[in-house]
Amino acid sequence: MTGNSLHDQRSAYYGQLTEQRLAPLWESLHNLVPKAPRPQAVPAIWKYAQIRDLVMQAGSLISAQEAVRRVLILQNPGLPGKSAITPALYAGLQLILPGEIAPSHRHTQSALRFIVEGRSAWTAVNGERTTMHPGDFIITPSWTWHDHGNPSVEEGGEPVVWLDGLDIPLIASLDAGFAENYPESMQPVLRPEGDSFARFGHNMVPVRHRVTDPTSPVFSYPYERSREALDALYHNGEPDEWDGVKLRYVNPTTGGWPMPTIATFMQFLPAGFAGKTYRSTDATIYCVVEGRGSVRIGDSEFTFEPHDVFVVPGWQPVSLAAQADSVLFSYSDRPVLSALNLLREERT
Ligand code: 1HN
């Protein structure tokens, strides 16, 4: 030990740098600018059969009122403690029991609800309620008041579970999170149910409508309609070799995504489908609606059944296969990558 080796000199020097809140770029350059994405998020699946009991148990341990939102967060094992399923996106399973209300609030984070089970609950967005049915895709745009409720058992209420998808980690990384509680637990209902769908959900828009907002004026996209479109397309032609029959949800006034930060899709994979491999820089969360199949993500392989949720990190090769006719809902950070000119895709 000379105490004079270059290594020792550097160590002493780095110590001085740290004291001055400095760091040598040359020690981290390769990590900072990788040749290709090296996602910290890992492929993972949450099997609904294994977690449903835990979701339901939350119902007897805490009320929706006390919890504000009674949700189990799906934590990516590669992003511990981050409340994130991908670096930009959050996922959680929310339970609302008959007779409960999840009080009204608003925040800058955009949210989606994808209904997993139960058909009695409603959500209100900007003065309009919509009733939830399994497979429906519902949006809560940034800074809109929203509350959820479920009628009593006597009025036909049953436990309802949905998948929440939000851009929480993205907004946190930008220090752009704001939130407010509504002064009452429920916002006033200003329009009858179905009003926004009648105005914007039929390939028509009110004649003098002006687009002033990047988010979709349709806030509930019923499963029935999406399923019908996939079914017709499947009967009309050959499925895509990578995607099967895949559609994206749109904001009917712009043709763009329903919300500025989150893309959503629904796809049909016929029984026997063995998809080719692709990868993309957007990171995607899937929720299985119908069927049975398997997915290969990098070196991982998972089998899936209805209500399972799995995550495909960015740039991981993925291929889908179906043993039975299957329907998959998915959401990703594609609009963000696309807007920043960072979207790359490879189909092999
Ligand atoms: C939120 O507002 C909801 O409104 C669900 O149901 C999950 C997670 C983090 C922050 C806000 C909801 C949420 C959330």
CATH number at residue 98: 2.60.120.10
Ligand 1 midpoint to CA 83 (Å): 12
**For ligand 1, mutation pick of 164, 171, 185, 262 (most atoms within 8 Å of CB):** 164
- Note whether residue 146 is domain-resident: yes
257, part of any domain = yes
SS3 for 31?
helix
In a domain, 188, yes or no: yes
> How many separate domains does the chain show?
1
Best residue among 68, 70, 71, 72 to mutate for probing ligand 1, ranked by most atoms within 8 Å of CB = 71
Domain assignment of residue 9, yes or no: no
Q: How many angstroms does the Cα of residue 67 sit away from the middle of ligand 1?
A: 11
Query: Contact at 8 Å (CB) between 96 and 149?
Result: yes
Q: Which domain holds residue 101?
A: 44-347
Model-level pTM? 0.97
- 10 found inside a domain: no
Residue pair 147/174 in contact (Cβ under 8 Å)? The answer is: no
Q: Is 164 a pocket residue for ligand 1 (Cβ < 6 Å)? A: yes
125 CA to middle of ligand 1, Å? 13
Kindly give the distance from the C-alpha atom of residue 107 to the centroid of ligand 1, in angstroms, as a whole number: 9
For 41, phi then psi, to 5°, come to -65, 145
In a domain, 2, yes or no: no
Residues 6+ apart with CB under 8 A from 309: 45, 46, 48, 74, 91, 93, 163, 285, 286, 287, 288
Domain membership flag for residue 272: yes
Nearest atom, ligand 1, residue 147 CA:
4
Side-by-side strand order, sheet with 128-131: 128-131, 122-125, 146-149, 101-107, 179-181
The pLDDT tens digits along the chain (348 residues) read 556 899 999 999 999 999 999 999 999 999 999 999 999 999 999 999 999 999 999 999 999 989 999 999 999 999 999 999 999 999 999 999 999 999 999 999 999 999 999 999 999 999 999 999 999 999 999 999 999 999 999 999 999 999 999 999 999 999 999 999 999 999 999 999 999 999 999 999 999 999 999 999 999 999 999 999 999 999 999 999 999 999 999 999 999 999 999 999 999 999 999 999 999 999 999 999 999 999 999 999 999 999 999 999 999 999 999 999 999 999 999 999 999 999 999 999
CB of 182 within 6 A of ligand 1: the answer is no
Q: Decide whether any atom of ligand 1 lies within 6 Å of the 170 Cβ.
A: no
Domain for residue 8, yes or no? no
